[in-house]
Each structure stands twice: as C-alpha cells, then as structure tokens.
C-alpha cells in the first residue's frame, strides 16, 4: 500500500497538470476574493431593501467559504484526472501489473488524492484570505480573522477541498473517459448544481433537499454558504454534511469498483 501511494504521488508530480490547475485555482480564487469581497461589503452597506444583509462575521464566512463553494471545481478535476489519465494514456495496464489487487489500487487512488486536495485547500484558503481579508477590512465590517467560527470555516475549507479531490477520484473511477468526466464535472458544478440549489431553495417544501446535493453538503461541512446566506436553502449540521459527502464518495467508489475495476484491462 505504501509503495502504491508513492507510485501515485510520483505519477501526479511527474506531469504538469497539477501545478497548472493549482495556479488556475489561486488565480480564480484571488479574483473572486477581491470582486465578491467588494460586492458583499457593498450589499451589506445598502440593506434598506429588506433582503437579508450580509455583514460582519457572516460576510467573512461566506467569502472565505468560496474556497469550497466556488473553487471546488479544481480539486474535483485534479482528483478525476488522477484516475482518468491512466485510462486515457493506457498506463492503467502497467499500473495493474505493478499492483494487481484492484482494491489496493482503488484505495491508493482515493488516499493519494487526500494530500493533493489538502495542498489545493491550503493554497485556495491562503489565496481567499490574502485577497478577501483586506477588502473586508477596508470596505466591510472587518476581516474577522480571529473569530473562532471564521477560523473553523478556514479549517474546513481545507478539509472540504481534500474531500472534493477524493470525490473527483471516485468519480473518475466511475467515468473513466477523461473528456466525459471533465465535461460532466464542469456541467454539474457550473450549471446543474447551482441552478438546482436555487430552484430547490425557492420551493419551501423542497428547500431542505438542496443541502443534500454535493455542493450543499460541502457548504454544510464548511459551515458557510453563499446560497444559504441568500436565503435559498438551509444547511445541514456539520456532521450531517460530512456524512452526506462521504456517502457520495462511498457510492461512486463502490460503483467504480463494481464496474470499471471488474473489467478486463488491455
């Protein structure tokens, strides 16, 4: 198992995609941190309209929570690439020659994606703080970097980003076609889920369902949600979010084990 893990890390760090995606995530979250920082603080100063105000610690939590709620596409993609690349370039053959026990192969993929996700989480969290905190401090109610609740959000940003990477890897096991996996991830994260969360959140009887979507569960775990702050759906308790999220990973990994990993490999 240790050897399989070392092999996985060498696979990832011997090609360029990991730092390209990392740079992309840092750039994206930096941009989001500044722009949304201004828009959140701007809306909090003009709250006469009756729409829920985002101010104080809530504003800080919503902004810092963007690492997961907006940045999650990056760990998802890197996680899925860690698996789909093997199929795309047919290195899966050599990989299974080196480790024929497919359960060990699966475990190594999932475990290896944890530190990769932590790396992305640390970079993303550092970026959102570096970009967003000054904006909150200057034009909002403050950066709240000593508030324990806010610090927990930062901590869970890293945890959830790691879990997104694991989810990406388990999804890659199910959809091994690299292009298909990326298209599905982009479509789901950039369109399907946001729309579903807004729609579900606007229907009273269904509002609770939104937090059972992967993004909702992740926001629950982080303990902050831009969507929730907008009043579109309540969050689960942290442990509930964690359970739902781990459930997604378990389902994808199990399905991948029963389909992809039972097949013959060329």
Contacts of 131 (CB under 8 A, 6+ apart): 29, 30, 31, 32, 33, 34, 37
Residue from the set 3, 138, 179, 250 that interacts with other proteins by CB under 8 A: 3
Cβ contact 167:214 at 8 Å: yes
Kindly write out the interface string for residues 42-81 of this chain, putting x where it contacts other proteins by CB under 8 A and - elsewhere: ----------------------------------------
Whose tokens are 């603080």? That residue is 41
Instruction: Verify binding: residue 14, other proteins, rule CB under 8 A.
Output: yes
Least distance from other proteins to the Cβ atom of residue 15, Å: 4
Instruction: Verify binding: residue 126, other proteins, rule CB under 8 A.
Output: no
- How would DSSP label each residue in 110-133? HHHHHHHHHHHHHHHHHHHHHHHH
Count of residues of this chain found to bind other proteins when the rule CB under 8 A is applied: 27
Cβ contact 118:72 at 8 Å: no
Other beta carbons within 10 Å of 42: 12
| Site stretch for other proteins (CB under 8 A), options 9-17, 169-177, 187-195, 215-223 | 9-17
Residue from the set 35, 94, 177, 259 that interacts with other proteins by CB under 8 A: 94
The footprint of other proteins (CB under 8 A) covers 2-4, 6-7, 10-11, 14-17, 85, 89-91, 93-101, 264-266
């Amino acid at each position: 198992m240790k050897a399989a893990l070392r092999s996985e890390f060498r696979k990832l760090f011997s090609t360029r995609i990991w730092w390209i995606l990392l740079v992309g995530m840092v750039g994206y979250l930096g941009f989001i941190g500044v722009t949304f920082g201004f828009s959140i603080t701007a809306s909090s100063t003009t709250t006469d309209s009756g729409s829920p105000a985002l101010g104080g610690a809530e504003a800080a939590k919503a902004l810092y929570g963007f690492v997961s709620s907006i940045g999650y596409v990056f760990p998802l993609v890197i996680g899925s690439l860690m698996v789909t690349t093997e199929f795309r370039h047919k290195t899966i053959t050599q990989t299974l020659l080196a480790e024929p026990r497919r359960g060990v192969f699966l475990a190594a993929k999932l475990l290896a994606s944890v530190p990769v996700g932590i790396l992305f989480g640390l970079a993303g969290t550092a970026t959102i703080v570096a970009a967003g905190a000054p904006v909150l401090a200057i034009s909002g109610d403050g950066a709240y970097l000593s508030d324990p609740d806010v610090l927990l959000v930062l901590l869970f940003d890293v945890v959830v980003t790691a879990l997104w990477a694991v989810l990406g890897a388990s999804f890659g096991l199910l959809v091994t076609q690299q292009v298909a996996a990326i298209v599905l991830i982009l479509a789901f994260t950039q369109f399907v889920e946001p729309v579903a969360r807004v729609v579900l959140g606007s229907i009273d009887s269904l509002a609770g369902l939104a937090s059972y979507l992967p993004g909702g569960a992740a926001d629950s775990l982080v303990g902050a949600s831009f969507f929730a702050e907008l009043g579109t759906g309540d969050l689960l308790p942290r442990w509930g979010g964690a359970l739902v999220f781990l459930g997604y990973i378990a389902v994808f990994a199990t399905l991948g084990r029963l389909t992809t990993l039972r097949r013959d490999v060329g």
